Amino acid sequence: MAERMPLLEMQQITKVFPGVRALDDVTMQVHRGRIHAICGENGAGKSTLMKVLSGVYPHGTYEGRILFDGEEMHFTDIKSSEEKGIVIIHQELALIPELSITENIFLGSEVMRGVLIDWDQARWRAMDLLARVGLDVDPDTPVKQLGVGQQQLVEIAKALSKNVRLLILDEPTSALNEEDSANLLEIMRGLRARGITQIMISHKLGEIAEVSDSVTVIRDGKTVADYEVEEGHVDEDRIIRAMVGRPLDNRYPDWEPRIGNVLFEVEHWNTEHPTVPGRLVVKDASFHVREGEVVGFAGLMGAGRTELARSLFGRSYGNYLSGTMRIAGEPIRATTVSQAIDAGLAYVPEDRKTLGLNLLDDIKGTIVAANLQAITRHGLLQPEQEVDVAERFRKELRIKTASVDVGVATLSGGNQQKVVLAKWMYPEPRVLILDEPTRGIDVGAKFEIYKLIHALAEQGKAVIVISSELPEILGVCDRIYTICEGRITGDIAAKDADQETLMRRMTTTSSTEPAVPAPTA
């Protein structure tokens, strides 16, 4: 009987913030020993629900009941939920880079011998935990030396050290490459086989189909679908309809480009690694983008896509060695970010939390940050204009917020991304570089951003899209460059490309076919 009883029941959960009903009578069951997926658009309430469950929002600040293993829970903080075996791994990993793996795993729950920490015992226990997640790394290694995929495994090892019974993973593969993602999904299957129940928040419907046993869909703070799935098979269209409240017949908008003359040109660009002399991260890169054209850059993790983009944008990454840039035929020398902005360049970074936003700032201050001179008179900021600009972008980009005065840290990931886009649209750049513009964003919000990309191109701008998702590159772009080990290896019209062709060029440092020539004016 106990085996058939759900491990977790959340009954009629309602959570209200000033002016916003974030959760409205949400009900969900999670059965023991299974992987339960939670889907929904950005801002639907998924993370809020998990914060209620884990005690971030303590009992008394919400309505409804939480039953865990048949017992009603009144969690007052994260520690109280962890004592019951509920552990959450957030999308932004909570590891301290300067500390070792061992120190991170046992931080806050140190292995003691009397009044002293028993580091020898802690190290042996860390080695055992790392073996359980398949990570063959010295536990004395500082976390900052690990890749993102390895750090994710350290977080899971840390959860296992707390005798986890219910593991919550919030967008666990959003920052991982395909190999690390596949490895993490295999780890999840192994945990399930050992009886550990898991909740997985994800926008990647293919991964949900691979590992989940059941799905709950939340829209606008309400449960709109809750059903069992057959392993390896999930009705993606059914999930999408539930998430966005309408059929999404085409995941990419129809697009008829009106392409003009070459607007942005880069020739023989070379950049050195910032801390490893002699190591080139960008090797003799040459490419062009025309007016009204959306050009994609496809490459594996570490191929040099982001390094190229950041080095072009005011040389904000690495050591510039050589190369030229031109906008509308005029050479530009942008050695700082300010000079790059003045020249007509804008860059939306892949890491919106670290490089794209000041999480202590509000929405209106963030949106105008890259073009303050436009709302400054006699050296003074004009608050009314600041609000007017922010409100205009809030409406145009459909940013879900009660007010532009609230902090950007309170927004969902998708709405934060829209704020970053607004920030770089406001200076009205001629060339816009978008680095992973839809990472961690649901299918409905992705569609909106795709339409925005095309709208920018329709204005005659040159738009560059860097993405790890090949279907996205093929669905949104007019032309695609492939890059491998810092070198551009292909230049293909999107209509002539497929995933196999792109992958072949993304894994070789030489191209067997001629590049598409730059047209003459």
Rounded distance between C-alpha atoms, residue 55 and residue 80, angstroms: 7
Q: Angle 13-15-21 (CA atoms, 0-180°, nearest 5)?
A: 120
Average pLDDT for residues 364-379, to the nearest whole number?
90
Identify the residue with better confidence: 303 or 337.
Answer: 337
Q: What is the mean pLDDT of the chain?
A: 88
pLDDT band at 516 (very low <50, low <70, confident <90, very high): very low
Quote the tokens at residue 503.
Answer: 């992958």
The tens digit of pLDDT for each residue in 128-151 reads 999 988 888 999 999 988 877 788
Q: Tokens 């059965």 correspond to what residue?
A: 31
Task: State the pLDDT at residue 189.
Answer: 93
Q: Which of 266, 285, 300 has the alpha carbon at shortest distance from 484?
A: 300
pLDDT band at 83 (very low <50, low <70, confident <90, very high): very high
Whether residue 39 has pLDDT greater than 90: no
Task: State the pLDDT at residue 28.
Answer: 94
Other beta carbons within 10 Å of 251: 15
The tens digit of pLDDT for each residue in 251-305 reads 788 889 999 999 999 999 999 988 888 889 999 999 999 999 999 999 876 789 9
Average pLDDT for residues 372-391, to the nearest whole number?
90
Task: State the pLDDT at residue 269.
Answer: 97
pLDDT band at 180 (very low <50, low <70, confident <90, very high): confident
Task: State the pLDDT at residue 149.
Answer: 79
- Percent of residues, the chain, with pLDDT higher than 70: 93
Residues 6 and 32 sit within 8 Å (Cβ to Cβ): yes
Whether residue 483 has pLDDT greater than 70: yes
| DSSP-assigned states of every residue in 418-469 | HHHHHHHHTT--SEEEEESTTTT--HHHHHHHHHHHHHHHHTT-EEEEE-S-
pLDDT band at 248 (very low <50, low <70, confident <90, very high): low
Average pLDDT for residues 173-195, to the nearest whole number?
84
Query: Checking DSSP bridges between strand 20-30 and strand 8-17, what pairing results, if any?
Result: antiparallel
Identify the residue with better confidence: 514 or 4.
Answer: 4
Torsion of CA 66, 94, 23, 401, to 10 degrees: 170
Residues 114 and 194 sit within 8 Å (Cβ to Cβ): no
The tens digit of pLDDT for each residue in 211-239 reads 999 999 998 889 998 888 876 567 777 77
Domains of the chain in start order, with CATH, are 8-244 (3.40.50.300), 258-344+429-521 (3.40.50.300), 362-428 (no CATH)
Rounded distance between C-alpha atoms, residue 435 and residue 347, angstroms: 8
Average pLDDT for residues 16-35, to the nearest whole number?
90
